[in-house]
Amino acid sequence: MKLPDKQHSTNYFNTFILVAVDCKATVGQAPALNKGQKTVAYRQFELLAPKPYQFTSDEVLFQVYADKNDLTENEYTEARQAFFAKGQPCFRTSPLAKQLGWGIHCDKDGKIALYGIETPQYQTLHDDPSIKKVKAMRNAKPQ
C-alpha cells in the first residue's frame, strides 16, 4: 500500500481557542457518556484533563481515533499516516470548546491544555496580547 506524501496537521502554536460565542455553558463541564458509551468529547477530555501540556492536538485526535477503532499499537504508524493524509477537523470543532465551556490553550510547542471559561487562567489567556486567539466554531448558523 502506497502511503501519501502530504500530511496535514491540526496543531496550533501559541494560540488560545476561545469557547464558541453561542456556547451556553458558563463553566467548563466534563462530558457525559452517551448511553454508556464514550463520546469523542469524553475521550478528548479523558486524555487532556489530567495531563495538561502533555499532548499536541494531532496526538489527541489520532489517539481518540485509534481507541474508537480498536487499533493495536502495531497498526499506529500506518493508520496515523492514512489518518493525516486528509485534513481533519481541529479542536475548534470539538464539543469541549463548542458546547462544554472549555478554552484550549496551545503553547509554543503545540502542547494543549483545557481551561474552563469560569477560571482566572481562561481570562488571563483571553487577555494576553502575545497569544493568538481563535474562536471555536459556532453550534448553529447565525440567524
Strand 15-18, strand 112-116: pairing: unpaired
Give the pLDDT band of residue 5 (cuts 50, 70, 90).
low
Length of the chain: 143
DSSP for residue 134? E
pLDDT at 140: 75
DSSP-H helix ranges across the chain? 40-48, 57-68, 76-83, 95-98, 120-127
Share of the chain above pLDDT 70, in %: 95
CA 51 to CA 136: how far, in whole Å?
22
pLDDT in tens, 26-38: 999 999 999 999 9
pLDDT in tens, 11-24: 999 999 999 999 99
pLDDT at 7: 82
User: Residue for cell digits 440567524?
Assistant: 143
**pLDDT over 80 (residue 2):** no
Strand partners, 103: 115
Cα maximum dimension of the chain: 50
- This prediction's pTM: 0.90
pLDDT at 143: 60
pLDDT in tens, 62-112: 999 999 999 999 999 999 999 998 888 899 999 999 999 999 999 999 999
44-60 mean pLDDT: 97
